[in-house]
Amino acid sequence: MAARILVVDDDSALLDALPETVRLRLEDVEVETCDSAPEALARIESNDYEVIVSDIKMPGMDGLALLAEIKQRRPSTPTLLITGHGERDLAVAALRGGAHDLIQKPIDRDYFVASLERAIQLRELDRRVSEQREALERHAQVLDHVGDGVFLVDDGGVVQLWNPAAAAITGLSQQAVVGRPAESAIPGWGAIVPVVHVAASPGDRDGAFEAFPVELEGRELWLSVSGVRFGDATVYAFRDLTAERAIDDLKREFLATASHELRTPLAAIYGAAMTLRRRDIEVNEEDRDRLLGVIAHESDRLARIVNEILVADYLDSGRLRIDPTGLDPVKTATEVVNAARVVAPESIAIELEAAADMPAVTADREHLRQVLVNLVDNAVKYSPDGGRVTVRIEDRGPSVRFSVSDEGIGIPPNQQTRVFDKFYRLDPDLTRGVGGTGLGLYICRELVRRMSGRISLVSSPGEGSTFVVDLPAAPRSDASSRPHEIRASAFPQPL
Ligand code: ADP
């Protein structure tokens, strides 16, 4: 594109001659002229000229005043001022005012053209510099907005850049890290740097992103780090994999627990079935009943485990249907208690306490049953020395409260919120010998939440636990009078 130049002069002879001189000696230049400073200003307003050439002495607004305006409106446009011979003071004022060069009259054409050429180059350079600055600022902003931690370590080992994500992930602020040796600023860096993969170029991903543990203020973070050489420095990118690793650990733990949990009842069922099949020994009526009882009981246990896994999966994937209706809370609890009594050890007494005229509760029948089954199951499971398990139902005005209390081992205060976490099982030493997937209370919490209720827990280690579930009472008119089937067993029903 041609460079546009504006020449401002009240001397019409010069105004005719200068453009011609420029056109003859410079290629790709377009010269526009005007004969007063106010007109020049009007043009500058709407045109971004490469260079402006102005006479210093003009009637009305002179070249110096025009220069001041140009500096305000187009600070990066170089301006050449034409001065008369011997106007030294004006020349000094022009340079002070930021003129790019002075052209003395009578004009030496070669000097004029050379000065103009320099000014055009300067403008071009200036433009490129600002484009690069803008690009750099954009890049810097991009780094500010990426989710991965990015930092630059120079060959002296000093951190030169630390983006906001790096600060957010590690908790180490920019001020605390930039300008300091990486080894002292980033805990664990000394151990990471010899093993982290540094590629020669960004495309080389061979063995990239290894995960390393980093201890930061008592927290252990798993960071996956990779590096790329960048001039005389290395740019590192990292990502926080702590949550993913925790999930992996959970999965591993779950698979170990679930397979153990599945194997135990399977072995019992297999053993009982094999004994029943043997022809070489006589199995009397009593043993037969006992072995069939084992098969029924252990199948029930197996089905519960599988059901828990299924329900947890349905909850996580949002596929679980909730169908709330007005239910008789006492009837539902009675079914659960009756079924639990059948399988509970003799040392445990399961009781139901409820006033006669309980309001209906708004809940999904199967899900409420599942919650109560899980809680009563746990109450029995975690009462190794026997005792009383009480299911209590209370009318709490807008809600119906179910509480399941036991006199078992209890739960230490610092574990009381965690027991509702998925796969969470208390210290295995405490629950040794008691099977479980760690899903029961998670399922209870999620089901109760989805039925617009809340679940809480009061417990003292060694004295027992009470799990409390509050669910909305049904509006009186909605109280369903649908008959409830009485189930003979707590065998889980399909969802
Ligand atoms: P699990 O399958 O292990 O029983 P849950 O999610 O039902 O899983 O319970 C999580 C943990 O909470 C259990 O491992 C147990 O340590 C503790 N817990 C649950 N209910 C009771 C209870 N009634 N008394 C004592 N501890 C309990």
Quickly count: other Cβ atoms within 10 Å of residue 385's Cβ: 9
**Ligand 1, atom nearest to 427 Cα:** 16
Q: Note if the pTM is more than 0.75.
A: no
Distance 468 CA to ligand 1 centre (A): 14
Stretch(es) of the chain classified as CATH 3.40.50.2300 = 3-141
Question: What tens-digit pLDDT sequence spans the chain (495 residues)?
Answer: 789 999 999 999 888 899 998 988 998 899 999 999 999 999 999 999 999 999 999 999 999 999 999 999 999 999 999 998 778 888 899 999 999 999 998 999 999 999 999 999 999 999 899 999 998 888 878 888 888 999 999 999 999 999 999 999 999 999 999 999 999 999 888 888 888 888 887 776 665 566 788 887 778 888 889 899 888 899 999 998 888 888 888 788 778 777 888 888 899 999 999 999 988 888 888 999 999 999 998 898 888 888 888 888 888 888 888 899 999 999 999 999 999 998 889 999 999 999 888 999 999 999 999 999 999 999 999 999 999 999 999 999 999 999 999 999 999 998 898 999 888 887 655 555 677 788 899 999 999 999 999 999 999 999 999 999 999 999 876 444 443 433 333 334 433
Stretch(es) of the chain classified as CATH 3.30.450.20 = 147-240
DSSP 440-487: HHHHHHHHHHHTT-EEEEEEETTTEEEEEEEEEBPPGGG---PPPPPP
DSSP 353-404: EE-TTPPPEEEEHHHHHHHHHHHHHHHHHT-TT-EEEEEEEEEETTEEEEEE
Stretch(es) of the chain classified as CATH 3.30.565.10 = 324-472
Q: Which residues surround ligand 1 with Cβ inside 6 Å?
A: 374, 378-379, 382, 406, 408-411, 419, 424-426, 431, 436-442, 465
Q: What is the fold, at CATH topology level, of the domain defined by 147-240?
A: Beta-Lactamase (3.30.450)
Under CATH, which number does the domain 3-141 receive? Answer: 3.40.50.2300
Q: Is 1 helix (H, G, I), strand (E, B) or coil?
A: coil
Stretch(es) of the chain classified as CATH 1.10.287.130 = 244-316
Give me the residues paired with residue 149 across strands.
Answer: 238
Under CATH, which number does the domain 244-316 receive? Answer: 1.10.287.130
What pLDDT digit, counting tens, does each position of 467-493 carry?
A: 999 999 998 764 444 434 333 333 344
> What pLDDT is recorded for position 480?
47
> Among 311, 411, 443, which residue has the most ligand 1 atoms within 8 Å of its CB, making it the best to mutate?
411
Q: What is the DSSP letter of 223?
A: E
Under CATH, which number does the domain 324-472 receive? Answer: 3.30.565.10
Torsion of CA 255, 259, 261, 262, to 10 degrees: 140
**Cis peptide bond N-terminal to 494, omega within 30:** no
